[in-house]
A and B are shown apart, each in its own frame.
Chain A
């Protein structure tokens, strides 16, 4: 076994040469800084050397897990990234499919380019636009009044209603990123063998059958792989939109782990707490990742590793 491994390795020396230098790079740039995790167990002061730091064991973890708000911010984090995951995937894939059905190439390109624009607008600017749109005198309320759904003077304070927040967040994220997220699926679609469409045509398959039986299966490996990666990322629900759109009225639904860490870690110069929170996120992420990958493997789908 050992022998054959080395033998193979020598045989595959070209592949080794093409990849191992980057593994070394990976080790230096990504794994080496992991010594920083020790900070989570210290009362870290950047001015002191490693040996001078004061060790506090699990104190920072205890602070996190025993705080009564922690469950709430964890729930909000998972809920919002879950919404983002599902909505993001469904809308991006749908848009890619719809674009794929457009035969006017100029129109297709135009739609693609325009839908990609909001990606370049920072969240600060985007949040401003969202807040203006949702304001008492914003366009949404104006439409509701004009259509008689609500009466003048009863305008809805959208950002002041806690349980609206997740929907507003989800819709905003889709609006901002859907065009951008579509790109990778469009690229994947180019790899579908055209003869498959021809074969489907022969069978008399209609538009939807082709979408369902040819296009979707064609990009499925990419979808599955991205899905697994993103499930691993469920602990990251973003920070800026929640911070910018959040306020005292919707805080119970808008505050996520990152904002919590900002308030009690970063703003208090408590690096240790930030690192501890990061470690917690890593652990959860890896569990989710492994689970997702295993399920994919079991169901015979493409897998991440």
Chain B
């Protein structure tokens, strides 16, 4: 579960970085923010300042604070180690605040690393511990941020609506999460979350049918494979490798019309949390796969292939359909899209996401606005000067700086049209490659900092994340993309899917669980049982399915599922209480 989360957060980060871009009027930002950062002791700024000379004049005028460097440990390795002030964004922020961060990223096992920090009671000044957060909280490694938050208007503004939810059991706030929604919710036009995918040639040949149900979807695949027997196609493949197993076990939840809340479906009326691993939905889903398998349409190797093999299969153009989350198959999709860009005939093999449910009920595959509450960044007890860190964060949370970290600099990494809409030219898009992302700092500031959540909207109506800006999205589409979207009467991929309902608890998997708690143990055991029995159920002779299902129920029955559901129901209730306050 923790990994699921990590990956999901990386996916989000990706959405940002990918779209990574910048803003230009930072001269103005600096002037405004420099005001509140005066004071302090010996002024060695003069000597250090002139190193990166490409900065605006503002720094020299208003007496800058003495420079200070804090150490920051990041539990996700998403960029090379380095100093923030070596990036364009980080330099601008240093000019405004005098603060630099020396970032160390995790290499190796997170829990071990954090364990040694705790044991020696020596921490970096700031930690973004990712999945190690419960360990640090348990050890009392973070300071209480409550007394600081009130002092900083930008922090207060961004986190204000969430403060009650950010409180730990003792009523204190130890870290700032990353997914706070600011402004209206901007939906992702792409499908980075779950969908049933199918090759475009299948839709083309069938005349672009508007399929909605699971049976229609499998029928579509079956017809196509049967018509093209000589091509040796794989009807349907599924990802099961290691922690990615949820790409196979989550479907019953989605088919029943629920979003990805992890292991539970939460009733919209009673708000009761129920697991779905032994219910009729899961049985129906596995039986459908079993039938598929008996017809020779299911790829048996799904249960032994590793992730690389799976991606290779998808890229091989042999797989007709599959379910997965967009962020997991991005690489395969890119291979296929790249090919289609060079040769439009290859567009046949690009995968189109479809919203499928059991009986055509509204899907909930798109993410509702969510608040991931078990990840965040905190200041440790080892930090000498928490005020300076908070100041930095407050500065970073100004809208101008959020534009800087997301869109970049006007005229360099984005443009503004006469209606005030942000966009990027083709040259800018081409320019912003991986090395540029690193040098400019988009990569460092895409995630892991106190920030506007990815789906936020700026006060002038522009999307915070360039990748979510409709103008930018439209520019990325090929003619064939537009054609198929046109057949379905939509502008974006997301528009095919139902609008997400409001679920304040979403994502339920983001509700913090204590380490070694019964909930965590239950999840480990659940993984064990499902990983062992799902292959048996899918690959069994159809006549034996019910027998194996009974065996599976027996094995699953040993788990304390009722306790797990009870715990979740209580958590949901708590959140709803907090929200209604």
Residues of A that sit less than 8 Å from B by CB: 45-47, 127-128, 131-132, 135-136, 157-160, 244, 247-249, 251-252, 263-264, 266-271
A135 to B524, CA, bound (A): 28
**Among A127, A128, A269, residue most surrounded by chain B Cβ atoms (within 10 Å):** A269
Proximity string of chain B (281-315) to chain A, C-beta cutoff 8 Å, 1 when within and 0 when not? 00000000000000000001101111011000000
**Among A47, A244, A248, A270, residue most surrounded by chain B Cβ atoms (within 10 Å):** A248
Residues of A within 8 A of B536 (CB): 249
Could you say which of B303, B515, B534 contacts A268, with CB atoms under 8 Å apart? B515
Could you say which of A132, A244, A251, A252 contacts B309, with CB atoms under 8 Å apart? A132
Residues of A within 8 A of B306 (CB): 127-128, 131, 244
The answer to whether A135 touches B141, judged by C-beta atoms less than 8 angstroms apart, is: no
Could you say which of A127, A248, A264 contacts B534, with CB atoms under 8 Å apart? A248
The answer to whether B141 touches A47, judged by C-beta atoms less than 8 angstroms apart, is: yes
A46 to B115, CA, bound (A): 7
A263 to B523, CA, bound (A): 11
A270 to B515, CA, bound (A): 8
B172 at the interface (CB under 8 A from A): no
Residues of A within 8 A of B141 (CB): 47
Known: A268-B515, A268-B520. A128 touches B308 (CB 8 A): yes
Residues of B within 8 A of A263 (CB): 524, 528
Closest chain A CB from B184 CB (angstroms): 39
Could you say which of A47, A131, A266 contacts B121, with CB atoms under 8 Å apart? A47
B135 at the interface (CB under 8 A from A): yes
The answer to whether A269 touches B532, judged by C-beta atoms less than 8 angstroms apart, is: no
Closest chain A CB from B527 CB (angstroms): 8
Closest chain B CB from A160 CB (angstroms): 5
The answer to whether A45 touches B535, judged by C-beta atoms less than 8 angstroms apart, is: no
**Among B121, B134, B535, B536, residue most surrounded by chain A Cβ atoms (within 10 Å):** B535
Closest chain A CB from B286 CB (angstroms): 13
Could you say which of A131, A135, A251, A267 contacts B111, with CB atoms under 8 Å apart? A267
**Among A136, A158, A252, residue most surrounded by chain B Cβ atoms (within 10 Å):** A136
Residues of A within 8 A of B533 (CB): 248
Closest chain A CB from B186 CB (angstroms): 36
B68 at the interface (CB under 8 A from A): no
Could you say which of A45, A47, A247 contacts B303, with CB atoms under 8 Å apart? A247
A139 to B121, CA, bound (A): 53
The answer to whether B521 touches A160, judged by C-beta atoms less than 8 angstroms apart, is: no
Residues of B within 8 A of A247 (CB): 240-241, 303-304, 531
A266 to B520, CA, bound (A): 12
Residue of A nearest to B524 (CB): A263
Residues of A within 8 A of B534 (CB): 248
Residues of B that sit less than 8 Å from A by CB: 109, 111-112, 115, 118-119, 121, 134-135, 138-141, 240-241, 245, 300-301, 303-306, 308-309, 515-516, 520-521, 524, 528, 530-536
Residue of B nearest to A249 (CB): B535
A248 to B552, CA, bound (A): 13
Residue of B nearest to A270 (CB): B516
Closest chain B CB from A278 CB (angstroms): 15
The answer to whether B303 touches A249, judged by C-beta atoms less than 8 angstroms apart, is: yes
The answer to whether B309 touches A268, judged by C-beta atoms less than 8 angstroms apart, is: no
A157 to B305, CA, bound (A): 10
Between A and B, 5 residue pairs with Cβ closer than 8 Å are A131-B309, A157-B301, A159-B304, A247-B240, A248-B245
Known: A46-B115, A251-B532. A268 touches B305 (CB 8 A): no
Closest chain A CB from B349 CB (angstroms): 18
A157-B300, A249-B535, A251-B528 given; name 19 further pairs at CB < 8 Å. A46-B118, A128-B306, A131-B309, A136-B301, A160-B300, A247-B304, A247-B531, A248-B245, A248-B303, A249-B304, A251-B532, A263-B528, A266-B109, A267-B111, A268-B520, A269-B111, A269-B515, A270-B515, A270-B516
The answer to whether B304 touches A160, judged by C-beta atoms less than 8 angstroms apart, is: yes
The answer to whether A269 touches B139, judged by C-beta atoms less than 8 angstroms apart, is: no
Closest chain A CB from B554 CB (angstroms): 13
The answer to whether A157 touches B111, judged by C-beta atoms less than 8 angstroms apart, is: no
The answer to whether B301 touches A47, judged by C-beta atoms less than 8 angstroms apart, is: no
A270 to B533, CA, bound (A): 27
Residues of B within 8 A of A159 (CB): 304
Closest chain A CB from B245 CB (angstroms): 8
Closest chain B CB from A68 CB (angstroms): 9
Residue of B nearest to A49 (CB): B121
Residues of A within 8 A of B531 (CB): 247-248, 251
Residues of B within 8 A of A244 (CB): 306
The answer to whether B524 touches A47, judged by C-beta atoms less than 8 angstroms apart, is: no
A160 to B524, CA, bound (A): 21
The answer to whether A269 touches B309, judged by C-beta atoms less than 8 angstroms apart, is: no
A211 to B567, CA, bound (A): 69
Residue of B nearest to A244 (CB): B306
A158 to B521, CA, bound (A): 31
A136 to B302, CA, bound (A): 10
Residues of B within 8 A of A136 (CB): 300-301
Closest chain A CB from B272 CB (angstroms): 27
The answer to whether A135 touches B305, judged by C-beta atoms less than 8 angstroms apart, is: yes
Residues of B within 8 A of A46 (CB): 115, 118-119, 139
Residues of A within 8 A of B119 (CB): 46-47
Could you say which of A127, A132, A267, A271 contacts B524, with CB atoms under 8 Å apart? A267
The answer to whether B240 touches A266, judged by C-beta atoms less than 8 angstroms apart, is: no
Closest chain B CB from A14 CB (angstroms): 41
The answer to whether B135 touches A269, judged by C-beta atoms less than 8 angstroms apart, is: yes
The answer to whether A248 touches B535, judged by C-beta atoms less than 8 angstroms apart, is: yes
* 6 nearest A-B residue pairs (beta carbon): A248-B531, A47-B139, A46-B118, A46-B119, A159-B304, A268-B516
The answer to whether B535 touches A160, judged by C-beta atoms less than 8 angstroms apart, is: yes
The answer to whether A264 touches B515, judged by C-beta atoms less than 8 angstroms apart, is: no
A6 to B390, CA, bound (A): 68
The answer to whether B521 touches A248, judged by C-beta atoms less than 8 angstroms apart, is: no
A84 to B520, CA, bound (A): 34
Closest chain B CB from A28 CB (angstroms): 18
Residues of B within 8 A of A271 (CB): 115
Residues of A within 8 A of B303 (CB): 157, 160, 247-249
The answer to whether A45 touches B139, judged by C-beta atoms less than 8 angstroms apart, is: yes
Residues of B within 8 A of A248 (CB): 240, 245, 303, 530-535
Closest chain A CB from B559 CB (angstroms): 13
Residue of A nearest to B118 (CB): A46
Closest chain B CB from A208 CB (angstroms): 43
Closest chain A CB from B112 CB (angstroms): 8
A264 to B520, CA, bound (A): 9
Residue of B nearest to A137 (CB): B301
Residue of B nearest to A266 (CB): B111
Residues of A within 8 A of B528 (CB): 251, 263
A136 to B313, CA, bound (A): 12
A99 to B441, CA, bound (A): 56
Known: A160-B303, A269-B516. A45 touches B532 (CB 8 A): no
The answer to whether A268 touches B521, judged by C-beta atoms less than 8 angstroms apart, is: yes
Residues of B within 8 A of A127 (CB): 306
A127 to B242, CA, bound (A): 14
Closest chain A CB from B266 CB (angstroms): 25
A30 to B534, CA, bound (A): 45
A131 to B306, CA, bound (A): 8
A263 to B530, CA, bound (A): 15
